[in-house]
Amino acid sequence: MGLVVVSHSRPLARSAIALAEEMLHGSSVRIELAAGLDDTTLGTDAVAIMEAIRRAEGPDGVVVLMDLGSAVLSAELALDLLEDPDVRDRVTLSAAPLVEGLVVAAVAAAGGAGRAEVASEARDALLGKSAQLASPDDDGLSGSAGPGGEEVGVLTVRNPHGLHARPAARLVREVRALDASVLLRNLTTDGPSVPGDSLSRVATLAAAQGHEVEVRASGRQAREAVDRLLDLAKRRFGEPAEQVPGPAAPTPPTIPRGP
């Protein structure tokens, strides 16, 4: 799974990639850039984008993140310029905002997500910021109150940096593997319910260490879903207790550097 960053500005693209890579802690995601006409001239170049797609391309395909205007036109043209239709079919141009989309896409790709899922996560990348800035009256994300027969449990986030991108990605993988529909809600902050199968939505929980998160599951494996998530939380979603590397989305400001 490869990513391509298209921007008018090469320094901007480099910095955005650095920001995203900080979330990866050494996992390998191929991120190529096609940005600027050179180090200082703003502009986009469809040929350079095409070449970046070819460099990033693999069996799982490529998701392209763009800034605005000609970046989008040039990326579309780059698809036209790809002679191999099989390659073209494995490329998704993402409508996500560049920085937010890239960070979420990189984390999702590092977690083993396929192209469709990476693209979908990237598209929802603004949700975390929207939820953070929404007025308390807005309840756009709330779903809650499922039908009867659902299973409910409460997990406590033990990770020192909260439910940041990597543990959140682990949680989402777990939910997706089960035949159950899972809603999560941060009880500590009294936030809205979000679907547990979306990394972008789970990021909006802003669940810090010590926060309690309600798990409501329905479907054939509802009970199993609750049990597995509570167990996963006890194991800090696979992260070590000490020396937790990397930045945590919900808990700035003292962010240790990753290895």
Catalytic residue IDs: 164
Cβ of residue 70: shortest distance to other proteins, in angstroms? 4
| Number of C-beta neighbours around residue 15 at 10 A | 13
Q: Which CB atom, from 37 or from 241, has the smaller least distance to other proteins? A: 37
Total number of residues that touch other proteins (CB under 8 A): 18
What distances in angstroms separate CA 27 from CA 22, 24, 30, 79, 252, one per listed residue? 10, 5, 10, 28, 22
Q: Is 76 in the site for other proteins (CB under 8 A)?
A: yes
Taking CB under 8 A as the binding criterion, the range among 35-43, 112-120, 154-162, 244-252 that sits at the site for other proteins is 35-43
- Does the protein bind other proteins through residue 73 (CB under 8 A)? yes
Beta-carbon contacts of 255 under 8 Å, excluding residues fewer than 6 positions away, are 246, 247, 248
- Work out which of 16, 48, 56, 207 binds other proteins, going by CB under 8 A: 48
Is residue 70 classed exposed, middle or buried when 0-12, 13-18 and 19+ CB atoms within 10 A define those classes?
A: middle
Tokens 């990770």 -> residue = 159
Nearer to other proteins, 45 or 150 (CB): 45
CB of 83 to other proteins, least distance (A): 13
Q: Quick one: which of 12, 20, 46, 99 contacts other proteins (CB under 8 A)?
A: 46
Residue closer to other proteins by CB (options 34, 172) is 34
Residue 7 beta carbon to other proteins: minimum distance, rounded to whole angstroms? 12
Minimum Å distance from CB 20 to other proteins? 24
Residue in 11, 26, 37, 39 binding other proteins, rule: CB under 8 A: 37
Crossing angle (nearest 10°) for helices 222-234 and 165-176: 150
Only one of the segments 34-42, 96-104, 211-219, 248-256 lies at the binding site for other proteins (rule: CB under 8 A); that segment is 34-42
Cβ closest to other proteins, residue 42 vs residue 126 = 42
In 15-107, which ranges are E strands? 30-35, 62-66, 91-94
| Contact yes or no for 2/95 (Cβ under 8 A) | no
According to DSSP, the residues that pair with 253 across neighbouring strands are none
41 lines the binding site for other proteins (CB under 8 A): yes
Considering only 3, 4, 6, 44, the residue that binds other proteins (CB under 8 A) is 44
Residue 78 beta carbon to other proteins: minimum distance, rounded to whole angstroms:
9
Rounded to 10°, the helix 46-56/70-81 angle is: 60
Number of alpha carbons in the 13 Å side-chain half-sphere of residue 163: 30
Non-local CB neighbours of 15 within 8 Å, separated by 6+ positions: none
Summarize as ranges the residues that interact with other proteins (CB under 8 A): 8, 37, 41-48, 69-70, 73-74, 76-77, 80-81
